Every structure is written in C-alpha cells, then in structure tokens.
Amino acid sequence: QLTGDGARSEAAPASAGGTKDEQYRFVGDVGTLLEDYWSDAFDRSGERFEPTSLVIFDAPTDTGGCGVGTPEAGPFYCPPSQKIFIDFGFYRRLEEQLGFGGDFAMAYVLAHEYGHHIQNLLGIDDEVRKAQDGASQAEANALSVKLELQADCFAGVWAKSAYEDQRLEAGDLDEAIDAAQAVGDDAIQGANANQESF
C-alpha cells in the first residue's frame, strides 16, 4: 500500500480499491505526489515544468488532440493536450483478467503515463516521432519500445523517491513490476526487454 508520511500530504493516499470516490481521491493523491516530485526535479535542473491534467473517463472522450479516447484503450497520455486519461475499468480488468492489482500497481501505471508527460516536456517525444518518420516499420517499432521503456524508467525514478520517503510497504514494488509485465504488449512494451534491469 502506498502511504503518506505527513511531510508532503496530510494523510496517506486513499485506497485504490473501494468506492469510486476513494479511487478518485487515490488517483488525485498520487497525481499530486508525481507533480511535486517532477516539479522539484525540473527546478533543480533549471528546466521549465508544466503540470499535466488527469482526466478520468468511462465513455468515449475527446482527448483534445489525440482523437477520441475509449475505455478499451486503457490509460494513456495525449501530448497535444498534455493530459493523462485514466479509466478505472482498466484496473478492474488488470486484476480480474490478469490477476494483478493493488494500489501501487495503479500508482505505477499513473507514474508511467506521467513519464510520457516528462518525455513531452523534454522534447523526447517529438524527437522520437521525427526519427520514426521515414524509418522502416521495424525501426519505428524499436523506437516506440524505447519510448515505453523510458516512461517505465521515469516511473521507477519516482517509485524510488516514494521508497526513500518511506511511502511504500512490502509488496508494493512487486505490484508495480507485475503490472508492468502484465500490460506490456510485445509490440509496444518490448517483450524481450528486462524492465527490472533499467
């Protein structure tokens, strides 16, 4: 369970399970922790930070630049609107169909999508898209895999800070690794890549 220490928040983040209100509060709490961490990191490096917005949806939704988002797509980040789209049904499917769940699995997925926001702010996303133009399908796919793995790396950087702040409990990191492996589509996430080695 992801916990709070009182230094950065009044209380522990709400449970990822439970009522819809608790899920909303949990995602909001984790989003605040992510924003605080990355804002501080950007400040230390002299980079300009812009927070993202979280959109929770359960029906087709206009993304403001990435077409219409559907719940079947799962969580995703839209670079033009700088928004993260979260569908709680995805977490239910993760737990029911794949047997993986827990609050830190939910936090990890959100941290991964926040990693895409960091890539966007740093211009990495644009550079990868430019490199994919004119590349072979295999080369373009390899670049997509690297982009996904870097977002995993950014999620891990944040998870390390949560660990150092004593916000994690036994089993939380296993939840995150299980979630990453469970949702890793071979064509997108890199079946042969060892995420733990990053």
Confidence of residue 92 (pLDDT cuts 50, 70, 90): confident
Q: How far is it, in rounded angstroms, from Cα 156 to Cα 118?
A: 13
pTM of the model: 0.80
In this prediction, residue 20 carries a pLDDT of 78
Mean pLDDT for the stretch of residues 167-186: 67
Each domain of the chain, given as residue ranges in start order, spans: 20-187
150 — phi, psi (to 5°)? -65, -40
pLDDT single digits (tens) 29-81: 999 999 999 999 999 999 999 999 999 988 899 999 999 998 888 889 999 99
Residue reference for tokens 């002299």: 46
Q: How far is it, in rounded angstroms, from Cα 149 to Cα 196?
A: 10
194 or 95, which is more confident: 95
Mean pLDDT of the chain: 80
Structure tokens at 196: 């733990």
